[in-house]
Structure 1
C-alpha cells in the first residue's frame, strides 16, 4: 500500500530557508536590496521587475513634466499650466516619438528636452540590457523528491533520494554532491555548524535526461553511521544537495540545489518504483508517483 507522508515541520531555523538559500538576520530589509541594485534587478520576479520599470518610467515623466511647467508657456500648442499636456510631451520626448503637435518653443524647454533625450537614451539602453540578461540566464528545471529515505540496499542501510530533469533535453556531464550539515560543540565548548560530505555510489553521469537516484551507503565511514531520526532532529541536521551540469540546448552551465530537513528524512521507508516496462519491452517513467514512498521492515 502506497503512502504519502505529510510534511511534518517547517524549517524553524531562521537563517536557512527551506530551499537551502542562506538567510542572514536582517537580510530582508529594504536597504540590503538597494545596496546591490544590479543583482536585485536580475533576481526579483518578472512581475516586480516590470512594476519597477513602470514606476520609474512614470516618475521620470512626472519630474520632467513639472520641469516643463516651471518654465511657463514653453511648449507650443499646449494649454498653459496643463500638467497632462506637459506629461505627454515628456512621454513623446523620452521615447523619441515626436508627433509634432507639441514642440519646445523656448531655450529653457529645449534645454530640458536635451537632458530628457539623454536620460531616455541611457535609460532604454539599461532596461534593454537588464531584460536581455534576465532572459539569457540559464536555469535548470530539476525536480527533487519531497523526502529522502533510509532503507536497506544490498544488505546495508542506505540514504536515498531522487531527482528528475523536467525539461525534454539533456544535462551533460552532470555531477551531484551531498553533504550532512549538523550542529556540533567542540571539546572547548565552542558551537559550530559542521559540513560533512556524503559519498555517493554514483556522483556523476555523462547524460542526465530523465531521473537519477542518489545512493549513499551508511557504512563505517559515513557521517550518518549510528544516527537515528531522533538524533538528527536534535542536531538540527540537514542534507544539502547540489547538482550541476551543462545544458545541451544552450551549452551553458546550470545548477540546482535542495535541502532536506531532519523531518524530511524518513527511516524504514523506500521510494516507490517509477520505472515501468511496456509489453514491447520498452521502459517509461511514471512521474505521478515521483514523491511516493512505502514503509519497509525495520
Structure 2
C-alpha cells in the first residue's frame, strides 16, 4: 500500500508534458525557424489580428502619429524648398502652405488635413503643385492604413474565439459502465443563453508510437470518436451534456484498465465544433486530459434539477463533481485504487 502510494506521488511530482493545456491553448514552442519575421510579414493581416491588445493599441496609435509626422516633415521640406521659411519674403510671394513657418506648424497642418478638421488658419495654396500632390497622396495612403487597422480591430473583436471561452469542459474525465459498455466520459456545457447548434465533439489521442520499420514518433495522433444518446444526430447544446467513448477492441485505448491507467503516457485532446445561433459563425473550443485527470470507476454527479415552478436548473456546483460508480465490477477488489484516486482529487 505504501509503495503504491509512493509511486503515485512520484508520478504526480513529475513534469507532465502537454500539447494543449486545459483552456485549449497550444503549449508547443516553435524554435529555430529561419526567416520567422519574414514569414509573419508575408501574412501581415493574420499577424495583426493575432496581436495582443496592448501591441494592437500601440500599433493603432503609432500609425496615426507616424503618418502625421512623416507628412508634416514632407510639407516642411516643400515649404523650405519654396523659400517659405525665409525671414524676409516679398509681398508677391505665395507660400505653398499658408501660416506654416516651423516644423510644429507643418505637423499640425498634416494632422488637420488627415483628420479633416481644417482648414482655417493653415491651408494649402494653389501655387504649389507638389504640395497639392503630397496632400492627395497623404489622404489616400492614410485612408488605406486606417481601413486596415480598423478592420483588424473589428476582426479581433468579432472572432469566434471569445465565444469558445464560454464553453466549459469538465476538469476530469471518468471511466464507468454506460448501457452495459465500458466508456470514457466527459461533460460539456454552454455557459451562455445563446444557443450552440450543430455541435460535434471529436477526440485525438496523442501518444508515442513505433512503426513496423522501427521508426519512433514522439507524438502520434489517433482519432477517438465520441457519441451521445441522440440517435446519431448533432446534439443541441442547451443543457450540460455528457459525451462518451466506448472502450472496446476498436478503441485506441483498448486494454486500458485500473492498473495500467497511470502508467500509459498519453494525452486526450477534445475538440468541440459548433455553430453560433446568433451569428451563424462556427467556433471551436478545446481541452485535454492526461492520464492523471481520468478517474477509473467514477461517474458524474447529476447537474440538472427540476424546480417546483416547472423549470429546469443546471447547478454548476455539481458540474465537476464525481462519485464512485455503483457498478459491482468496479467495486470488487478495487478499494485501494479508489482510495488513491480520492487522495489525488483532494490534492
Change (3 A) 1:238 1:50: same
Change (3 A) 1:56 1:295: farther
Taking the aligned partners of 2:70 and 2:298, their CA distance within structure 1 comes to 64
User: How many residues were matched structurally?
Assistant: 288
1:68 matched residue in structure 2 = 75
Using the size of structure 1 for normalisation, the TM-score is 0.81
Change (3 A) 1:131 1:151: same
> How big is the shift at 1:204?
4.5
SS of the residue 1:164 aligns to: strand
> How big is the shift at 1:190?
0.5
Q: Which has the higher contact order (CA 8 A, sep 6+)?
A: 1
1:224-266: CA deviation from partner (whole Å, max 9, x where unpaired): 1223578566654111222223222112333222222333323
Give the alignment of 1:161-172 within 5 angstroms. Answer: 161-172=186-197
Greater C-alpha Rg: 2
Whether 1:81 aligns to 2:81 is no
Tell me which protein shows more strand as a share of its residues. 1
Counterpart pick for 1:130 among 149, 152, 175? 152
| 8 Å CA contact 1:8, 1:264 repeated in 2 | no
SS of the residue 1:254 aligns to: strand
1:245 matched residue in structure 2 = 274
Change (3 A) 1:265 1:35: farther
1:33 matched residue in structure 2 = 40
Taking the aligned partners of 2:112 and 2:284, their CA distance within structure 1 comes to 44
> How big is the shift at 1:101?
1.6
2:17 matched residue in structure 1 = 12
2:176 matched residue in structure 1 = 151
Counterpart pick for 2:131 among 97, 103, 109? 109
Taking the aligned partners of 2:281 and 2:136, their CA distance within structure 1 comes to 42
1:119 matched residue in structure 2 = 141
Taking the aligned partners of 2:55 and 2:298, their CA distance within structure 1 comes to 42
Change (3 A) 1:119 1:197: same
| 8 Å CA contact 1:75, 1:103 repeated in 2 | yes
1:127-158: CA deviation from partner (whole Å, max 9, x where unpaired): 34334433443443311112222234345432
Tell me which protein shows more helix as a share of its residues. 2
Unmatched segments (≥5 aa) in structure 1: 1-6
Using the size of structure 2 for normalisation, the TM-score is 0.71
> How big is the shift at 1:164?
0.8
Change (3 A) 1:173 1:124: same
> How big is the shift at 1:281?
5.5
Taking the aligned partners of 1:214 and 1:8, their CA distance within structure 2 comes to 30
Taking the aligned partners of 1:65 and 1:150, their CA distance within structure 2 comes to 69
SS of the residue 2:236 aligns to: strand
Taking the aligned partners of 1:104 and 1:231, their CA distance within structure 2 comes to 81
Taking the aligned partners of 1:10 and 1:132, their CA distance within structure 2 comes to 40
Taking the aligned partners of 1:32 and 1:234, their CA distance within structure 2 comes to 41
